[in-house]
Structure 1
Amino acid sequence: MTISAGDPQPIASQADRDSAVQRVQAAFADGHLTPEEMDERLDLVLAARGRGELDTVLATLPAEAPATQATIGAASGRIKRGGVWRVPRHLTVASAMGRVNLDLSRAIIEDPVIDIELQVGTGRAKITVPAGAIVELDGLVTQWKDTRYRLPRRTERTGPTIRISGVMGFGRLTVRHARR
């Protein structure tokens, strides 16, 4: 979206300002800013009215590091992730009632070990892992139904290790390997 001189600038929300403050503080902690530069940028961030002003303050800072932890949650309904998506090092999936479907077969997995913590009350969960992944279920507690997982016929251990832990309440977890 291009903003012309006549268009109003999108207003910066409190969440935008909080995120910018954290980024300035992280740049200072990493040694990219002096204390004076940090103070000056924090003043500009707190006084910013629009997102464009925030972008200007943050433009010369290093890019944010990718998230290593994320939570996906829903009280009811479906949680579904598939296609090309970036999987953090630690993923928590919380669902009180509903279905969970995580497809990691085409996901971007940058870490050799991925921890998935399930907190599922009522409902089913299905996780599709890459063809060569190693699956560990030692940390998973099932309260109602057993987990369905069968090793693939060809056991080429070329993918990441997927460690699944947490609690499956009144539902079943099914883990399967993607086909090549």
Structure 2
Amino acid sequence: MNGVTGPDRERAVELVQQAYADGRLDPAELERRLELALTATSSGELEPIVADLPDEVVHLTSAGGSVTRAGDWDVPRRLRVDSAYGSVRLDLSRAYVPYARIDIELRLAYGSATIIVPAGASANVDGVRSEWGRVSCKAPGRPRPGRPHVHVTGALPYGRLRIRAARG
């Protein structure tokens, strides 16, 4: 069995806390699962703790058109966007963001993406691979307590990614 990585443990703790916030776990079950998650020594020990808790990925796809989300929309915990030639604009500044961490995976062959994070939020783009494209992040990189953190990964062989904070 593999050891537990920090992100795996964080994901398990987040899923348990979200399930409690959603009313799917009572306080005793929350406490039991958090203790198990925090003391797990292998990834195999984490799996049964979260096996019955949803962690769905919302998948948006476009071949040549644009993908836009703006205004008052529900931001999922995990979002994947595939676009061959189109543009992507995700404006989280007025969206409902119920999670401390949002994972966004981008697969853009030739397109471009703009992500606008809420004022005070942070973003990390270390997991984005670009060959001939460009990645620009003007939002703070370190997570801040009580503020959303957007973690962006993916591949942009010829695409561009721009992340900025909302104008306050």
Q: Same fold (TM over 0.5)?
A: yes
Contact 2:122 2:139 in 1 (8 A): no
Q: Give the residue type in structure 2 aligned to 1:100.
A: V
- Residue by residue over 1:130-149, the C-alpha shift from the partner in whole angstroms, topping out at 9 and shown as x without a partner, is 11111011111011122112
Contact 1:118 1:165 in 2 (8 A): yes
Find the counterpart in structure 2 of residue 94 from structure 1.
82
Paired residues for 1:1-180 under 5 Å: 68-151=56-139, 158-180=146-168
Is there any run of 5+ residues in structure 2 with no aligned partner, and where? 1-23, 25-52
Q: Percent identity?
A: 40
Give, as a single letter, the amino acid of the residue that structure 1 aligns with 2:167: R
Pair 75,98 (structure 1): closer, same or farther in 2 beyond 3 Å: same
Larger Rg: 1
Deviation, 1:66, is: 8.8
For the residues of structure 1 that align with 2:119 and 2:95, how far apart are their CA atoms?
Answer: 12
CA distance in 2, matches of 1:79, 1:151: 22
RMSD over aligned Cα atoms? 2.4
**Residue identity matched to 2:61:** G
| Runs of 5+ unmatched residues, structure 1 | 1-29, 31-64
Total equivalences in the alignment: 115
TM-fit CA distance, 1:150: 2.1
What is the TM-score with the length of structure 1 in the denominator? 0.58
CA distance in 2, matches of 1:103, 1:151: 13
TM-score in terms of structure 2 length: 0.62
Cα offsets for 1:66-113 (capped at 9, x unmatched): 974201111111111100100111000000111111101011111100
